[in-house]
RNA sequence: GGCCCCGUCGUCUAGCCAGGUUAGGACACGGCCCUUUCAAGGCCGGAGCACGGGUUCAAAUCCCGUCGGGGUCACCA
């Protein structure tokens, strides 16, 4: 028995939900045995016994029994993510997967991965790997599906043809589907005619075969049949969406959709419904674009005598700064968005530092691969995605995996599309990165140095280079925002004669100021006298301060010159820490190299 | 165009059901401070209820309408 209490008379706490009636209703279905808070307008009363179902109408409680065809709600929750193998994992797809995963896991249920490959049989393995990799990287593990198997396999639609065939037969036998012999041209003509007359078009069933004899007659004309759904002509399809509430669609606005082609292959809607049934899916949580597909799927399910699952249609993820659906094909256009551009270019810089070619097909912030490639933390991406269309309250933003599982509910999914905000994603990443302890950061960063060929592979913590990496990471601090950012400090791992000088910075700090060479020479002499064990940032700082005071110059007159001389660039972390990491010998080597270069440059410009 | 869905700062959102808030938070943005560069940090700030009616003492919140945006209308998934 589920007890409903007034929210006004009881303080808010964990077991209560502050909800709209439609959402309360949804929750009541989803959380057997839990207390659900409802409006004081509803008198506290008892909910119908579990296994029956009830509705909570806006102002009163009206218990009614569910239709027999509905899914019994006391069984284990099973959700699924059903991507088609396209070769990449879209950021919106991941969010759908995340919500499915969270819902199943938070309800003690199971999360199933199914591959919807009814149409593309080619190269499935290659197109599938990036998807599996992406999900695994994010820790969205599936209880059943490719590679892990399960009792309801196979988990590829291309391998479940017999099941679909049986279903088509049944639909045919029950009069819920029919053989249709129209040619595409005839259909097009009908459609055009209707359009010309300004009518909305619905197939006339002109070539529907009424019986065997008619089939033979059509076939004698050389026609080949497809199987179409025999959608009701009147009335409407009503269903309850866990996010949107009640949805009503007139049957007249539906078509007699094709469910099987002449060659026997079946179409998505049929396959999807059949699989959801055989895989015991209790909750179909998917993108909003499927909302209008739902009536036909309900029709199929009911015609086959399947229980109808619960539906939840997630708002889609929109483009940065707009309400259009985020698309992987519009990369060029998104690059006009400053924040998106920044994110992308940061990624490109890292790829270039790695000496890797940027494949525009895969390297795109719309796909998860991008984030993995440049060293994002999966938990940061997940946290950001969670908040894209869902919130707990007016202030909580950070969720560990446990907290997500604890707090997630479909009832608090926002209805409107949420646009993807690269800046906010970056902010989450930075926050998560800052909190990582030093050794963990080092582990994340080392592979990037290895891939760039800057440190050997393998590289263990005993190796002195590991210590150097550790020092760099420590001193760089929050400047390393994604793991790949370590490559901004490549000069720390390159030879004294090899690391490159930025022409611009070199000129600005070493060639142009008339006193630069002289000061740098003098400072180098001072450094030379410093014993190697005193080559520490505190001592170095003191040394430079004395140097500056004695000569009555400004700090800026020497420090930038030293930085450019030893790192090749004008920006970096603390100057004295930089020298400490380089050590006495390297520091002097680099300054000498810079001095020589600067001399040459000045002589060249003088003559 | 038909059908369906949606509409609170630039963005993500809280608040809407049970009408009374200086409409709250976060990211981004601007200014100031700190500073050897770049980050980070500290302080301060600007910024929103799509519009129009109605109900009401009182409307982001309830009702009606308008407008706007999007999704979908395949022998794709």
Which helix or strand (DSSP H or E) is residue A580 part of?
helix A575-606
CA distance A371 to A376: 5
Which pLDDT band holds residue A74 (cuts at 50, 70, 90)? Answer: low
Instruction: Using alpha carbons only, give the angle A383, A391, A412 rounded to the nearest 5 degrees.
Output: 125
Of chain A residues 222-261, which have a beta carbon within 7 Å of strand B? 226, 244-245, 247-250, 253, 255, 257-258, 261
Q: Give the pLDDT confidence score for residue A323 in this predicted structure.
A: 87
Distance A236 CA to B61 C1' (A): 31
Of chain A residues 376-405, which have a beta carbon within 7 Å of strand B? 387-391, 393-395, 397
In this prediction, residues A452-469 reach a mean pLDDT of 94
CA distance A119 to A116: 8
- State whether the beta carbon of A199 lies below 7 angstroms from any atom of strand B: no
Question: Does residue A109 carry a pLDDT above 70?
Answer: yes
Q: Which nucleotide is nearest to A8 (CA to C1')?
A: B18
| Better-scored residue on pLDDT, A22 or A378 | A378
In this prediction, residues A51-65 reach a mean pLDDT of 27
Q: Give the pLDDT confidence score for residue A7 in this predicted structure.
A: 27
Nearest protein residue to nucleotide B41, judged by CA and C1' positions:
A478
Instruction: Using alpha carbons only, give the angle A268, A273, A276 rounded to the nearest 5 degrees.
Output: 115
Question: Does residue A221 carry a pLDDT above 70?
Answer: yes
Q: Give the pLDDT confidence score for residue A120 in this predicted structure.
A: 61
Backbone phi and psi for residue A315, each to the nearest 5 degrees, phi listed first:
-65, 150
Scored b (16 or more CB within 10 A) or e, A498-531 reads ebebeeebbbbbbbebeebbebbeebbeebeeee
Nearest protein residue to nucleotide B35, judged by CA and C1' positions:
A574
In this prediction, residues A210-230 reach a mean pLDDT of 94
Angle between the N-to-C axes of helices A91-106 and A124-138, in degrees from 0 to 180, rounded to the nearest 10: 60
Q: Give the pLDDT confidence score for residue A91 in this predicted structure.
A: 94
- State whether the beta carbon of A184 lies below 7 angstroms from any atom of strand B: yes
Task: Report chain A's mean pLDDT, rounded to a whole number.
Answer: 86
Burial of A272 by CB count in 10 Å (0-12 exposed, 13-18 middle, 19+ buried)?
Answer: buried
- State whether the beta carbon of A477 lies below 7 angstroms from any atom of strand B: yes
Please state the ipTM of this predicted complex. 0.94
- Positions of E strands within A333-406: none
Q: Give the pLDDT confidence score for residue A198 in this predicted structure.
A: 79
Is A328 marked active-site? Answer: yes
Question: Does residue A605 carry a pLDDT above 80?
Answer: no
Give chain B positions with protein CB within 7 A.
1-8, 10-18, 24-28, 36-40, 69-77
Q: Which nucleotide is nearest to A271 (CA to C1')?
A: B77
| Better-scored residue on pLDDT, A29 or A520 | A520
Q: What is the signed CA dihedral for A152, A157, A160, A165, rounded to 10 degrees?
A: 130
Question: Does residue A309 carry a pLDDT above 90?
Answer: yes
Question: Does residue A398 carry a pLDDT above 50?
Answer: yes
Q: Give the pLDDT confidence score for residue A5 in this predicted structure.
A: 31
Short-list A427, A428, A429, A422, CA closest to A365: A422
Which one is catalytic: A325, A328, A330, A508? A328
A267-279, pLDDT tens digit by residue?
999 999 999 999 9
> Would you state the structure tokens that stand for residue A505, as one six-digit string?
């910075």
Q: Give the pLDDT confidence score for residue A60 in this predicted structure.
A: 27
Q: Give the pLDDT confidence score for residue A121 in this predicted structure.
A: 61
Distance A198 CA to B54 C1' (A): 36
Question: Does residue A592 carry a pLDDT above 60?
Answer: yes
Q: Which nucleotide is nearest to A186 (CA to C1')?
A: B75
A162-212, pLDDT tens digit by residue?
999 999 999 999 999 999 999 999 999 888 888 888 788 889 999 999 999
Question: Does residue A380 carry a pLDDT above 70?
Answer: yes
In this prediction the pTM is: 0.87
Distance A431 CA to B39 C1' (A): 13
CA A457 from centroid of its chain's CA atoms: 31
Question: Does residue A430 carry a pLDDT above 70?
Answer: yes
Question: Does residue A50 carry a pLDDT above 80?
Answer: no
Which helix or strand (DSSP H or E) is residue A228 part of?
strand A226-229
Of chain A residues 262-301, which have a beta carbon within 7 Å of strand B? 262, 267-269, 288-293
CA distance A181 to A188: 14
Which pLDDT band holds residue A122 (cuts at 50, 70, 90)? Answer: low
Q: Give the pLDDT confidence score for residue A175 in this predicted structure.
A: 93
Q: Give the pLDDT confidence score for residue A73 in this predicted structure.
A: 55
In this prediction, residues A446-473 reach a mean pLDDT of 95
């Amino acid at each position: 028995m589920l007890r409903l209490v007034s929210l006004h008379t009881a303080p808010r706490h964990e077991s209560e939900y502050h909800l709209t009636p439609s959402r309360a209703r949804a929750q009541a279905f989803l959380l057997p045995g839990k207390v659900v808070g409802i409006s004081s307008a509803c008198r506290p009363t008892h909910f119908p016994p579990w296994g029956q179902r009830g509705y909570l109408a806006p102002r009163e409680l009206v218990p009614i029994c569910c239709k027999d065809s509905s899914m019994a709600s006391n069984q284990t929750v099973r959700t699924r993510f059903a991507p088609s193998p396209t070769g990449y994992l879209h950021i919106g797809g991941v969010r759908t997967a995340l919500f499915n995963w969270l819902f199943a896991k938070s309800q003690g249920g199971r999360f199933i991965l199914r591959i919807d490959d009814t149409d593309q049989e080619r190269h499935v393995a290659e197109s599938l790997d990036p998807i599996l990799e992406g999900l695994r990287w994010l820790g969205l593990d599936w209880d059943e599906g490719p590679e892990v198997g399960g009792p309801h396999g196979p988990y590829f639609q291309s391998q479940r043809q017999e099941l679909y065939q049986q279903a088509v037969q049944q639909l045919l036998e029950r009069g819920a589907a029919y053989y249709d012999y129209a040619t595409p041209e005839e259909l097009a003509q009908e459609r055009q005619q209707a359009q010309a007359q300004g009518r909305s078009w619905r197939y006339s069933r002109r070539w529907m075969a009424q019986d065997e004899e008619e089939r033979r007659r059509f076939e004698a004309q050389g026609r080949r049949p497809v199987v179409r759904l025999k959608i009701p002509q009147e009335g409407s399809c009503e269903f309850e969406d866990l996010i949107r509430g009640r949805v009503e669609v007139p049957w007249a606005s539906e078509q007699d959709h094709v469910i099987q082609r002449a060659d026997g292959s079946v179409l998505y809607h049929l396959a999807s419904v059949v699989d959801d049934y055989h895989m015991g899916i209790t909750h179909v949580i998917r993108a909003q674009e499927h909302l209008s597909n739902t009536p036909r799927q309900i029709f199929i399910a009911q015609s086959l005598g399947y229980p109808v699952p619960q539906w939840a249609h997630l708002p889609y993820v929109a483009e940065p700064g707009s309400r259009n659906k985020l698309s992987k094909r519009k990369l060029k256009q998104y690059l006009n968005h400053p924040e998106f551009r920044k994110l992308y270019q940061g990624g490109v810089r890292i790829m270039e530092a790695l000496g890797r070619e940027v494949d525009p097909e895969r390297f795109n912030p719309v796909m998860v691969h991008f984030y993995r490639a440049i060293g994002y933390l999966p938990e940061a991406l997940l946290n950001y995605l969670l908040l894209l269309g869902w919130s707990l309250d007016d202030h909580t933003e950070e969720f560990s995996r446990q907290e997500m599982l604890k707090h997630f509910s479909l009832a608090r999914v926002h209805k409107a599309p949420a646009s993807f905000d690269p800046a906010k994603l970056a902010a989450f990443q930075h926050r998560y990165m800052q909190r990582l302890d030093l050794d963990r950061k080092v582990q994340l960063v080392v592979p990037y140095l290895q891939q760039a060929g800057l440190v050997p592979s393998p590289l263990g913590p005993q190796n002195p280079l590991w210590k150097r990496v550790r020092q760099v990471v420590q001193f760089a601090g929050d400047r390393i925002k994604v793991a790949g950012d370590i490559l901004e400090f490549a000069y720390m791992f390159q030879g004294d004669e090899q690391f490159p000088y930025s022409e611009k910075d070199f000129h600005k700090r070493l060639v142009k100021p008339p006193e630069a060479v002289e000061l740098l020479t003098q400072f180098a002499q001072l450094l030379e006298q410093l014993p190697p064990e005193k080559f520490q940032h505190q001592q170095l700082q003191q040394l430079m301060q004395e140097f500056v005071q004695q000569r009555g110059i400004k700090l800026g007159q020497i420090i930038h010159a030293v930085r450019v001389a030893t790192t090749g660039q004008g920006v970096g972390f603390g100057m004295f820490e930089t020298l400490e990491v380089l050590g006495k010998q390297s520091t002097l080597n680099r300054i000498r190299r810079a001095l020589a270069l600067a001399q040459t440059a000045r002589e060249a410009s003088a003559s």
